[in-house]
Structure 1
Amino acid sequence: MRGNGCKWRRCRFCDYHTDFSLDEQANFQLNSKVLAQVTGEFGSLEVINSGSFCDLDDATPEEIAKYFNQVCLLQGLPGQSKEGMLRDIELGLKYFDRVCVNIMVENTKPIKPDYGVIEIFKREVYPLYKDNEQVDILLNNTDFGVGV
């Protein structure tokens, strides 16, 4: 999958941001061609793109939704805003049956969570979705009991 390019371009382990195009129609045509090759032979498929879900052209999420019923979003990153987090969740709800929101936790990589963004999430985003049966929110990455 190809999008219009990762906006952060800060991850020291990633160079996916070099594969992008600002031509949304060309991105959609390429993404449609790739998705047309999905046969279901292996029972599951992981889709990645050159950046994030929010970097895809407007038509590709609808195309992806034909094959998948859930999206996983990472929030709590430097540079995210309340409006951006809300937009990501709403796009997820528009195109998928379920949305899983993971709040970034510190790990061994140099990119660290933005605790200010996480506080905004907890105060202004979490209350809007905490009771929504279509949204799973992992404030800690062990909330589902994995890794406990």
Structure 2
Amino acid sequence: MNRYSIITEKNPREIVLLKGYKCAYGKCAFCNYILDNTDDEKEMEKVNFEVLKNIKGNFGVLEVINSGSVFELSKATLKKIKNICDDKNIKVIYFEAYFGYLKRLDEIREYFKNQEIRFIIGIETFNNYYRTQVLKKNFMLNDTVLKQLKEQYQTALLMICTHGQTKKQILSDIEQAKKHFKEVVISIFIDNGTEIKRDEKLVKWFLKDIFPVLNKEKNIEILVDNKDFGVYVQ
């Protein structure tokens, strides 16, 4: 288990993995991170306050993730993050926010008025059928929605190399993510006990034919392993 790390390549920043309340959606077929959630506010804050002590502000950039969205962190946790960022002169904070919170993002921007807030969204794939019917992530994309997301979110998360995906779909997802978002994080799926399974043939193809060139792009980060950012609970 590791809840604090430093990322030094491409987009240098500190990153923390905090404990939050239950994910507002919590039905994604591929997600086992929700096992880290808790309804015990005292437990949450005990863990989070200890993790947040590690922040040094070296890069002026902090990424805060939890098993859900920033809106599922306790008020005391948010206040602690705010105070630390003000004290350490951190100017940019990345937060994750689920699609359902789209209309509430300004609440976080207003609360952290001394920082630039960059939101991250888990798109997983731009294929509506695969996202909703296979991954069970229940939101649809169209031109109007994508325009909104492009305006409100900095980073898209993609998940690749699962059974049912194709090379064509993966390449299309990457191109669309690059088109609509300033930054893209691509995760090669690791089997985690859920119903979604890793496709080893796609992994081999991606690592051999796509990764060497794609990984040179400054605004794209690729997680070959889900521990590559250095934070994990499993």
User: Higher strand proportion, which one?
Assistant: 2
Listed as ranges, the matches of 1:95-106 within 5 Å are 95-106=180-191
- Alignment coverage as a number of residue pairs: 116
In 2, Cα distance between equivalents of 1:12 and 1:84: 18
Q: CA 1:128 to 1:81, structure 2 compared with 1: closer, same or farther past 3 Å? A: farther
Tell me whether 1:87 sits opposite 2:172 in the alignment. yes
Aligned position for 1:53: 126
Aligned position for 1:76: 161
In 2, Cα distance between equivalents of 1:48 and 1:85: 15
Counterpart code for 1:96: F
1:65 Cα shift? 0.7
Q: CA 1:144 to 1:48, structure 2 compared with 1: closer, same or farther past 3 Å? A: closer
Q: CA 1:135 to 1:46, structure 2 compared with 1: closer, same or farther past 3 Å? A: closer
In 2, Cα distance between equivalents of 1:70 and 1:12: 20
Aligned position for 2:212: 127
In 2, Cα distance between equivalents of 1:134 and 1:59: 24
Q: CA 1:109 to 1:84, structure 2 compared with 1: closer, same or farther past 3 Å? A: same
In 2, Cα distance between equivalents of 1:39 and 1:146: 25
Contact 2:122–2:158 (Cα < 8 Å) also in 1: no
1:46 Cα shift? 7.0
In 1, Cα distance between equivalents of 2:195 and 2:105: 38
Tell me whether 1:40 sits opposite 2:125 in the alignment. no
1:30-79 C-alpha deviation (Å, 9 max, x unpaired): xxxx85x4451134777678x84332223322221100110000001112
Aligned position for 2:37: none
Q: TM-score, normalised by structure 2?
A: 0.43
* Secondary structure of the corresponding residue to residue 127 of structure 2: helix
Aligned position for 2:136: none
Moved >4 Å (runs of 4+): 44-49
Q: CA 1:124 to 1:135, structure 2 compared with 1: closer, same or farther past 3 Å? A: same
Contact 1:82–1:124 (Cα < 8 Å) also in 2: no
Q: CA 1:131 to 1:52, structure 2 compared with 1: closer, same or farther past 3 Å? A: closer
Backbone CA RMSD of aligned residues: 2.8
Tell me whether 1:147 sits opposite 2:232 in the alignment. yes
In 2, Cα distance between equivalents of 1:110 and 1:76: 14
1:108 Cα shift? 1.7
* Secondary structure of the corresponding residue to residue 101 of structure 1: strand
Counterpart code for 1:81: T
Aligned position for 1:66: 151
Structure 2 gaps, min length 5: 1-28, 32-100, 110-116, 129-140
Contact 2:186–2:222 (Cα < 8 Å) also in 1: yes
In 2, Cα distance between equivalents of 1:124 and 1:59: 33
